[in-house]
Structure 1
């Protein structure tokens, strides 16, 4: 029904997260219909990013400079090290504007089922970096793999003298109890604090 070039575009788009075959077809059609204002600039941006963006050798963030802009920012607090699973989590933390320390991107989470062990995540390098920090903040997801990874890292950092903390879990700002799942409510009860 479509030519090989368009079929290839649809196949490549369908590999993106959140895009299945139908969504990829709609996206491809949208790009083709707006070739000059969307497709060509997108192709140029993709080529430029492919040529210049790389992982920061210090923290694991993506940037076009080494070290990345966050690692080279002198206003950052060198004593705080926030451990995140992936670059998307780092970007989420940065969007808040509430954190001004350094980062360490693991590049995944421990998972016996997927064959991901500590050596795959560079946890030894994290332990080395943590020696220069006063606090390591474990900002891993509230999933089984995320909590397993956080506990493993906390165990590895035990006895080093560095404080280890984790993000609070519970009721989100603006959240109503009636709409929350049981796990979130339970976590909020366990993490309650005095007012």
Structure 2
């Protein structure tokens, strides 16, 4: 149903914006109005960027990151330390880790966590590919940077078990990450301290 005073096109824009995490109906209305008022400087460039991203974005076949190239720019960066693989749950967690100055290794995105309640098992995540990568002779450390939640820690323990016969050091984030905390919501200082204080699993 179209809201009085707004066309169906504007109403559709508001409804789509309201589906973005962090934006409710009221915030979506404000965002839509802001975009419309700044049509040339903001709305049109945003529309072009959205179109280009939708057409060009790819999932990296190596680490499951998203980028416009496959393999992604991290996996193909010759300056990266290929002896370290940092395991994260989602791409947002990878981006959070990238804000940490000092980590120059590679990543592996699981695509979620193990969850008996939600029916998510090992076959639903990119764990097999991680195990295969970890068996590369050049890999010496796997950092389990899953969130400090029950599912995140369960997943980390499962992966540690799967990698028990691999010739790698298995470590996890330590001090600074609170129980129940999610990486994407932590500041750079907290993440940096957690990464530096990683411990064997």
TM-score by length of 2: 0.82
Say if 2:109 and 2:126, in contact at 8 Å, map to a contact too: no
Correspondence 1:10-25 to 2 at 5 A: 10-25=14-29
- Residue in 1 that maps onto 2:171: 165
1:141-189 deviations in whole A, cap 9, x for unaligned? 11111111111111111122211000113379xxxxxxxxxxxxxxx9x
Structure 1, unmatched stretches of 5+, are 173-187
1:45 aligns to what SS in structure 2? helix
- Residue in 2 that maps onto 1:72: 76
- Residue in 1 that maps onto 2:142: 136
The structure whose RCO (Cα within 8 Å, separation 6+) is larger is: 2
- Residue in 2 that maps onto 1:176: none
Q: Equivalents in 1 of 2:130, 2:107: separation in Å?
A: 10
- Residue in 2 that maps onto 1:106: 110
Q: Output the aligned Cα RMSD.
A: 1.9
TM-score by length of 1: 0.85
- Residue in 2 that maps onto 1:46: 50
Q: Equivalents in 1 of 2:111, 2:175: separation in Å?
A: 22
Structure 2 residue corresponding to 1:152, chosen from 158, 166, 173: 158
Q: Equivalents in 2 of 1:13, 1:117: separation in Å?
A: 32
Structure 2, unmatched stretches of 5+, are 179-193
Aligned residues: 175
1:153 aligns to what SS in structure 2? helix
